[in-house]
Amino acid sequence: MSIDTDPAEAARQARAEQRSAQLLEAAARLMDRDGPESVSMQSLATEAGVSVGLIYRYFGGKDELLLAVILNVLDAFGTEVPKAMDEAGEDPVHRLAAGVRALCEVIDDQRYAVVLTYRATKQLSPEGRHRIMELELSTMEPLREALRAGQKSGAFEVIDVDLETYNVLLLTHSWALKHWYYERRYTVEEFATMQTAIALRALIPPRQRRKYAALLGNAGA
Amino acid sequence: MSIDTDPAEAARQARAEQRSAQLLEAAARLMDRDGPESVSMQSLATEAGVSVGLIYRYFGGKDELLLAVILNVLDAFGTEVPKAMDEAGEDPVHRLAAGVRALCEVIDDQRYAVVLTYRATKQLSPEGRHRIMELELSTMEPLREALRAGQKSGAFEVIDVDLETYNVLLLTHSWALKHWYYERRYTVEEFATMQTAIALRALIPPRQRRKYAALLGNAGA
DNA sequence: CCATGAAATGAATCTAGATTCATTCGCAGT
DNA sequence: ACTGCGAATGAATCTAGATTCATTTCATGG
């Protein structure tokens, strides 16, 4: 806001960004390879090719680092999901389907981070945890909106918007949570397609089934 | 098998059982009150009113203790779910509904333990983890069976039995996983009823809807 | 070529707990 | 009352990491 006049300062900022990104990437690699618990300041430093002390120049502590990893995915959700939904047009059914698919893709790309969301309670500050909950809820907002729109237009028959929205999110999260099980059965593609069909079947009333047969899967009607 | 001749030995066994149960209960209380991470050997000892050292007489270490907590719920699942399903009769739809409800009840009763299932990876031995996965899968077996039966009889239209079975389990787990969200919105009762309806809507094809209107919730058809 | 300060290092320090074990307690059998 | 033994204690020890900070390296401007 007031520093962008200094080119040297800008350069510093840029380098800092880069370092911080480098660390987050190393953390991602580490989690992907050896699981989220394997991230110690030491192992992270080694993986990133820097010294332990340096990490503290870019993150206040381990908690901030983990928080950053999580905020990263939530951010991706917040960007990718609305984008995909908007590209899908107006129809709430197609919008929801697009949202689910986008979620699956981001999740596949950052499985470890999604898992962290369910685990990192210990190492996270209460404020951090709170922030995550808030963000998760706002992430769901577009989905919730689609449900409401579909409900109004009669495309969906909804029992409880809040519950069913969260259910949809969970179905996608399960790709990360139960990856050891799904991994050898489905590709992300298949997974996304099936979960979409399943979620929609729960929402679309009989009379609308024919119209969306393509999304509802094999048997169709 | 060969010690049950000694009454003194039997008494010892009984006391040991009791202690071990006492410890598990204390752990449960602690987790329920302050979250799963709050269980340290110290805090557990204090909560149970014993000394730290004593815990090691009954459990090999913290990992064994946590494993025991988890095996406890999985055991309850293995007992309660089939029981409820059998009491529900032959119809796969009613069997599934009964299973879901039973799951919700056990989960509500041991929320902390379900959450542990998703978290304790670090502190658990690989064998322990493996055992948990196996048990979780066998827990699902009755549900899977109901899906298959319903599929055969035409009551269910299933896209993929494995996936949809796990989905049902997840929907119930979410009572524990997202309790901070659901807590102030629904009672377990409401939650169980709605999740049942939602799960069934995804499974029951249009032509069967009328028959199970009661389970499918408000609007019914 | 030097002075300056930011960037980076990593050994030393701290901390939170888990685990051990020498000691004490309490009771059953004599 | 006394002996022996399993039960119980909890202070001392160990461990795994997280965090700090005195020191070194590097780049930049003069």
pLDDT for the residue numbered B128: 92
Q: Note whether residue A157 is domain-resident.
A: yes
Amino acid identity, residue B128? G
Rounded (5°) CA angle A31-A34-A35: 55
Domain match, A80 and A13 both: no
Q: Note whether residue B221 is domain-resident.
A: no
Q: Which residue gives the smallest C-alpha to C1' distance to D8?
A: B54
What would the mean pLDDT of A80-87 be, rounded to a whole number?
98
Domain match, B45 and B97 both: no
Q: Which of B158, B172, B178 has the most A C-beta neighbours within 10 Å, making it the best mutation to test the interface with A? A: B178
Chain A residues within 8 A (CB-CB) of chain B?
35-37, 118-119, 121-122, 133, 137, 157, 159-160, 162-164, 166-167, 170-171, 174, 177-178, 180-182, 185-186, 191, 194-195, 197-199, 201-203, 205-206, 209, 217-219, 221
C-alpha–C-alpha distance, residues A47 and A44, integer Å = 5
Domain match, A107 and A146 both: yes
Q: pLDDT tens across B46-80, in order?
A: 999 999 999 999 999 999 999 999 999 999 999 99
The percentage of residues in chain B with a pLDDT greater than 70, rounded to a whole number, is 95
pLDDT for the residue numbered A4: 45
C-alpha–C-alpha distance, residues B79 and B99, integer Å = 11
Is 80 exceeded by the pLDDT of residue B8? no
Q: Note whether residue A221 is domain-resident.
A: no
Q: Note whether residue B207 is domain-resident.
A: yes
Under DSSP, is residue B31 helix (H, G, I), strand (E, B) or coil?
A: helix
**Domain at B109, CATH number:** 1.10.357.10
Is 60 exceeded by the pLDDT of residue B87? yes
Domain match, B16 and B93 both: no
Q: Note whether residue A75 is domain-resident.
A: yes
Spatial contact of B206 and B220, defined as CB atoms under 8 Å apart: no
Domain match, B65 and B35 both: no
Contacts of A184 (CB under 8 A, 6+ apart): none
What would the mean pLDDT of A92-100 be, rounded to a whole number?
98
Domain match, B89 and B167 both: yes
pLDDT for the residue numbered A16: 86
Domain match, A71 and A53 both: no
Of A37, A163, A209, the CB nearest to B206: A209
C-alpha–C-alpha distance, residues A7 and A15, integer Å = 12
Q: pLDDT tens across A130-141, in order?
A: 999 999 999 999
Domain match, B34 and B47 both: yes
A201:B203 CB<8 A: yes
Residue indicated by tokens 């040991």: B16
Of A137, A162, A177, the CB nearest to B185: A162
Is 70 exceeded by the pLDDT of residue A184? yes
Task: Measure CA B132 to chain center.
Answer: 12
**Domain at A14, CATH number:** 1.10.10.60
Residues in A closer than 8 angstroms to B218, CB to CB, are 159
C-alpha–C-alpha distance, residues A216 and B15, integer Å = 57
Q: Which residue gives the smallest C-alpha to C1' distance to C6?
A: A12
Is 50 exceeded by the pLDDT of residue B219? no
Nearest-CA neighbor of A167 among A221, A103, A214, A211? A103
Tokens for B113?
């333990």
Judged by C1' against the alpha carbon of B123, the nearest nucleotide is C18
Nearest-CA neighbor of B194 among B169, B218, B221, B165? B218
Domain match, A104 and A210 both: yes
Domain that holds residue A145: 61-216
pLDDT for the residue numbered A136: 97
Q: Note whether residue A4 is domain-resident.
A: yes
- CA at B50, C1' at C30: how many angstroms apart? 32
Taking 3-state DSSP, the helix, strand and coil percentages for chain A, each rounded to the nearest 5, stand at: 80, 0, 20
The H or E element that residue B164 is part of is helix B161-177
Is 80 exceeded by the pLDDT of residue B7? no
What would the mean pLDDT of B29-54 be, rounded to a whole number?
96
Domain match, A34 and A135 both: no
Domain match, B46 and B82 both: no
Q: Please, what is the average pLDDT of chain A?
A: 93
Q: Note whether residue A113 is domain-resident.
A: yes
Domain count, chain B: 2
Of B37, B174, B202, the CB nearest to A122: B37
Domain match, B48 and B79 both: no
Is 90 exceeded by the pLDDT of residue B123? no
